[in-house]
Amino acid sequence: MSNDGFASHLGVAQRTVAAWHKKPTLLPRSEIQQALDTALEQAPDGAKRRFAQLAGGDSSPPAPSDAQAFRVAIAVVVNESDVLIVCRRGEDGGGISWQFPAGVVKPGVSPETVAVRETLGETGVHCVVVRSLGSRLHPITNVMCEYLLCEYLTGTAENVDVVENVSVTWADRRELTRFIPADRIFPPVLEALEVASD
């Protein structure tokens, strides 16, 4: 579920769900904890298994010590008032969605390295990681995503990876939600982009 959808499902404000992302150690009030418990009890088995894995209560055999969960590094590259986005190519060859440059984090490679390398490989833009914006299990893909705020260094944004992408552009931060719906953007990303505008 999106943050808005989950908040609606629980009957709480969206800012409450966003606060959990911001402060993962925050303990919910008892009435909210009851709503969370009920939601978990009524969730499909697949959702319960994912929750157990994320919460560390998975009863399945432990993975080998060198195993790594499937992770993606997402680069949120800013250049003054703009943010870099790419339009992914669907399997049928048509554009399906605008999103931030991203790549799979392979064992032994840091998310920061992947974010910088994938941005260059997809867009021709050189950037540097400023800081981590946090991570989440993506509400649509169910993939663990690590978000990294990056600063533009040099390069002209162009569609370097024509197999994977249809287009690349700099979008004004204030118009980002015209490309990517706000409920699909990780709240700390929205906050970082607001801070960058000051």
Q: How many percent of the chain have pLDDT more than 90?
A: 46
Q: Is 32 in contact with 9 (CB distance < 8 Å)?
A: no
Place of tokens 């998975």: 58
**41-72: pLDDT as tens digits:** 777 777 777 777 776 655 455 455 555 678 99
Positive or negative: CA dihedral 194, 24, 185, 151:
positive
Backbone angles phi, psi at 155, to 5 degrees: 110, 155
- Give the DSSP H/E element, type plus range, for residue 131: strand 126-137
3-class SS shares of the chain: helix, strand, coil, % to 5 = 35, 30, 35
Q: Which superfamily, per CATH, for 71-196?
A: Nucleoside Triphosphate Pyrophosphohydrolase (3.90.79.10)
Which of 2-6, 83-87, 101-105, 132-136 shows the lowest per-residue confidence on average (mean pLDDT)?
2-6
Is it the case that residue 95 has pLDDT exceeding 70?
Answer: no
Q: Which of 103, 173, 87, 185 shows the shortest CA–CA distance to 138?
A: 185
* Token pair in block for residue 91: 């399997």
Q: Which residue blocks in 23-110 are alpha helix, DSSP H? A: 30-42, 45-55
- Which pTM was predicted? 0.64
Q: Please tell me the least confidently modeled range out of 39-43, 71-75, 127-131, 172-176.
A: 39-43
